[in-house]
Amino acid sequence: MESNHPLKLNRRQFLLRSAIAAGGVISTNLVFKSRVFAQAPAIITSEKMRPTIPYGVASGDITDNNVIIWSRSDRPAKMIVEYATSDSFRDVQRVFGPNALENSDFTTRLNLRNLPPDQQIFYRVIFQDLDNRNIYSAPVNGTFRTPPIAGRDIFFVWGGDTAGQGWGINPDFGGMKIYETMRQLNPDFFIHSGDNIYADNPIQPQVTLDDGTIWRNITTPEKSKVAETLPEFRGNYKYNLMDNNIKRFNAEVPMLAQWDDHETTNNWYPGEILLNDNRYTVKDVSLLAERARQAFLEYMPIAYTTNNLDKARIYRSFNYGPLLDIFMLDERTYRGPNTFNRQPVLSQETEMLGRTQVQWLKRQLLSSKATWKVIASDMPLGLIIRDGSTDFEAWANGDGPPLGRELELADLLRFIKNENIKNVVWLTADVHYAAAHYYNPSKAQFTDFKPFWEFVAGPLNSGTFGPNQLENTFGPEVKFQSIPPGTQANRPPSEGLQFFGGVKIDGYTKVMTVTLRNLAGETLYSLSLPPET
């Protein structure tokens, strides 16, 4: 990623630049008349000679006056980003980014800095061929709005679990339609709560539904088996980006991305060996996770550079004006093994976030001056999620006082209470249904915490499951769940049981309103939370 040094273009330079982007190699002898310009005879360039942008553009990690712009070329090329505060691209500025090279699968990103607050920014990405600097790709456009200083409502969406359980891109169904539903709500940004891909869930050409009809998937070689090699992990992200709904969404809605298990393999933890899954020839999960992490960082609009790939943290925080701070957790990289999860003392075996991340989160919460603090957790807190018959995958281990991984959570919740940190809300996904949980100390086995809300959303074009059982350790109460008990497992997207969440913060009253919505965008549940002062 290169430093951001924008060049402000005058009208002649802008039109020349646009002509080059649209038409390949051209002469520079241009004559301008009013708002029209004539072009001297051009050198005709074959389309095959031009770089292309097969997977669109995306923005992400938006905070204060910065944003990451992401794209991918089909060949070695230099990334160029042009941006302005109007869709006519008047007063356009140009920034030269890094080269898209084979070692990053021709993906690249640029950090746009020093953007004006509370502005709709229009941008376009162009790739310049490295072998012939006079050959350019056609531009691909995107847009986003920068965070406000004050006085404006904030609205964002969240969810997780994309293309799981064999439910892929079905053109007959309209592709991954839930992304278009979210886009039409015009959110300021999107939190992807994990399971961006299902590297362990191959996509088959067709699935026979219960009524005998056929669900037809687009397929690719990389998505036709479990991912083990780096190209196969990359291929999982490319597969999702073949969907036009996702490409439109990415071009208009900045993403804050975190990961969970299926970016690598189901329920994984560092050091695991796949003894009982014959689909894998690579049994070392840490090796799989290393490849999975590289593909995740390459294909998500996250700030990192190729040179410090190993140092790029997936847990990070974002400020979105005075009303909101977002804290993105990583519950995969630092966890101990999945066990019976009832150890009586904290140890490396019981870690979920790990000591360094816990201390970071405490410092971030303590220093936050925002009205609302949203903790984005890739796994729910009180829902029981098993790994086999005896082990547990998430925090919860059943009724009773805190034990195992719950000890880390109890320490964090106690800290929030003792430091009187206000207006903390947890958002999550993972379980493939939507729910609202109120954690009530008066109903809990562990009581030394402030009451709080956790909202669950998903899936986004995956199989529908649940509902899961809640434990009583931290006193969660079910206030809403989107499917009734006894619902048959792994329902296809065509049944409409796909769910996402929305959060609106009123710029004047500071009230946070959380909604849980279905595939059609209909509100199934809504709750308004006044801020604690």
pLDDT value for 518: 98
Residue 231, pLDDT > 80, answer yes
- The distance from CA 212 to its chain's CA centroid, rounded to whole angstroms, is 34
Percent of the chain residues past pLDDT 90, beyond the cut: 88
Sign of the alpha-carbon dihedral angle for 148, 149, 152, 157:
positive
Edge to edge, the sheet with strand 66-72 lists 107-112, 66-72, 57-63, 255-257, 189-192, 154-159, 499-505, 512-518, 523-529
Q: Which position has the token pair 């360039």?
A: 45
Q: pLDDT at position 6, please?
A: 66
Span 189-210, pLDDT tens digits: 999 999 999 999 999 999 999 9
Q: How is residue 295 written in tokens? A: 């593909």
pLDDT of the residue at 305: 75
Q: Is the peptide bond before 54 cis (omega within 30 degrees of 0)?
A: no
Indicate the DSSP class of residue 202.
P
Average pLDDT for 62-79: 96
Q: Distance from first CA to last CA of the chain, Å, rounded?
A: 41
CB 63, CB 106: distance < 8 Å:
no
218 and 204 in contact (C-beta within 8 Å)?
no
pLDDT band at 28 (very low <50, low <70, confident <90, very high): very low
By the 8 A CB rule, do 157 and 190 touch? yes
* DSSP secondary structure letters along 460-486: BSS-B--PPPBPSTT-EEEEEESS-TT
Alpha carbon dihedral 255, 259, 263, 265, in 10-degree steps, equals -160
Beta bridge partners of 513: 504, 528
Task: State yes or no: pLDDT of 12 exceeds 90.
Answer: no
Joined together, the tokens standing for residue 357 give 């991340």
Which domains, and CATH codes, for the chain?
A: 7-145 (2.60.40.380), 157-187+239-258+313-529 (3.60.21)
Torsion angle of the four alpha carbons 177, 181, 186, 190, in this order, in degrees rounded to the nearest 10: -70
The percent of residues in the chain predicted with pLDDT above 70, rounded, is: 91
Half-sphere exposure of 365 (CA within 13 A, CB side): 27
Nearest to 50 by CA among 128, 141, 140: 128
In the predicted model, what is the mean pLDDT of residues 177-191? Answer: 98
Secondary structure of residue 298 in the 3-state scheme: helix
Q: Are 125 and 251 in contact (CB under 8 A)?
A: no
Phi/psi region, residue 300 (left: phi>0; alpha: psi -120 to 50; beta: rest), is: beta
Q: Where is pLDDT greater, at 94 or 32? A: 94
Predicted confidence (pLDDT) at residue 39 exceeds the cutoff of 50: no
pTM of the model: 0.92
The span from the CA of 467 to the CA of 432, in Å, is 8
